Structure formats: C-alpha cells, structure tokens
C-alpha cells in the first residue's frame, strides 16, 4: 500500500484539537496542496482563506453555535453541547474556501478541500471538513465575517476544513462496499 493510500484510508474527522499552533511550514505545505488541486478547465474558481487567528475562529464558532441554538430543531444543538459546546473543536487553523458561481465551482472546491485533508493526514495532523461554517457566514454577522475573511466580491462560502494537532481521535469509518456497483 502506498503512503498516499495509507493517508486516505487513515483519515477521519478529528473533533479534538490541541492548542498548539501549526508551524509556518505546515501551513505552507497545506496551502500548496490546496492550490495543486485540479479544477474544471483549470479555471480555479476558488479563493482560500487561511485563518490562524484563534480569536477569530472562536468568534465564528460562537456565532455558529448561537445560530444553531436559535433554530427550531434542537437536535444538532444538543449534539454540539454534548461534544463540548464548540462547532470547531478548538482547531488552531481553519481553511475556508469560497468560490464564484461558475458551473463547477462547488465540485472544484470539494477537490481542493480533499487535497487539504489528505495532506494534513500525511503530515500527522487531524482535520475535520466543516460545511457548518455556512452558519456564522450566513447569520446576522455574515457580511462582517466575509469582509474580515477577505472573500472576493461575488464569491460565496463553499466548504471549510479545520486542521491541527490531534488530542482526541477516532477510527476511520467502515468501508461500505454495498455502495459500489461493478459493471
């Protein structure tokens, strides 16, 4: 088994990060892996915002939890509280991908995010892909956050990923071969 396949098979959603910051070299390697992602016709419809400012990550987290708390369906809020009351699990680095409205921008952003996740795993770091970043960015303070996060004009949030050193890990999910057809 190659090292790449081992990284893919070993990756899981980390929901417990240490307070330790990533090094500049680690952040640079993750950014390079992100930018190496393929995109339809090489249009690269994305913008990557790397957030290592813990206070800003905490603000986004608090706003997201407040949005969930205000929702009629309290099941997700209860789950967040059970997990320690944080959506972003104390991550020291949050990478947010925004994109334009081109036809393949969502898919291309997902590919970029997967590159980051696999690169993080190969570096011994944990990651958690977070679509729920849409909550603080779509909430009352959304426009303010987008400005602070340097979203280009006309770009919208597509996906985010948390990265850091693992405190609490878990096993990767079981492979479900029932989801495969061979023709």
**Closest-CA residue to 92 (of 5, 162, 26, 45):** 162
Q: Is residue 181 part of a domain?
A: no
pLDDT band at 41 (very low <50, low <70, confident <90, very high): very high
Q: Is residue 28 part of a domain?
A: yes
Average pLDDT score over residue span 13-31: 96
Q: Is residue 127 part of a domain?
A: yes
Q: Is residue 8 part of a domain?
A: no
Q: Is residue 178 part of a domain?
A: no
Helix (H) or strand (E) holding 51: strand 46-51
Average pLDDT score over residue span 121-131: 97
Please tell me the predicted confidence (pLDDT) of residue 60: 97
Q: Is the pLDDT of residue 72 over 90?
A: no
pLDDT tens digits, one per residue of 74-109: 888 998 899 889 999 999 999 999 999 999 999 999
Q: Which CATH number belongs to the domain containing residue 76 in this structure?
A: 3.40.109.10
How many domains does the chain divide into? 1
Percent of residues, the chain, with pLDDT higher than 90: 87
Q: Say if residues 129 and 97 touch (Cβ distance below 8 Å).
A: no
pLDDT tens digits, one per residue of 154-174: 999 999 999 999 997 778 889
Structure pTM? 0.94
> In which domain, by residue range, is 152 found?
14-168
First to last CA, the chain: 25
Q: Is residue 58 part of a domain?
A: yes
Q: Is residue 46 part of a domain?
A: yes
């Amino acid at each position: 088994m190659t090292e790449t396949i081992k990284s893919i098979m070993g990756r899981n959603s980390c929901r417990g990060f240490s307070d330790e910051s990533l090094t500049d070299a680690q952040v640079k390697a993750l950014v390079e892996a992100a930018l190496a992602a393929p995109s339809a016709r090489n249009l690269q419809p994305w913008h990557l915002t790397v957030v290592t400012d813990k206070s800003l990550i905490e603000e986004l987290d608090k706003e997201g939890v407040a949005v969930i708390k205000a929702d009629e369906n309290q099941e997700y809020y209860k789950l967040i509280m059970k997990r320690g009351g944080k959506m972003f699990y104390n991550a020291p680095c949050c990478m947010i991908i925004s994109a334009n409205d081109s036809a393949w921008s969502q898919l291309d952003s997902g590919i970029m995010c997967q590159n980051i996740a696999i690169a993080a795993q190969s570096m011994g770091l944990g990651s958690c892909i977070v679509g729920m970043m849409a909550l603080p960015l779509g909430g009352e303070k959304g426009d303010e956050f987008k400005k602070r996060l340097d979203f280009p004009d006309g770009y919208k949030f597509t996906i985010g990923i948390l990265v850091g050193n693992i405190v609490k890990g878990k096993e990767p999910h079981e492979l479900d071969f029932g989801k495969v057809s061979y023709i």
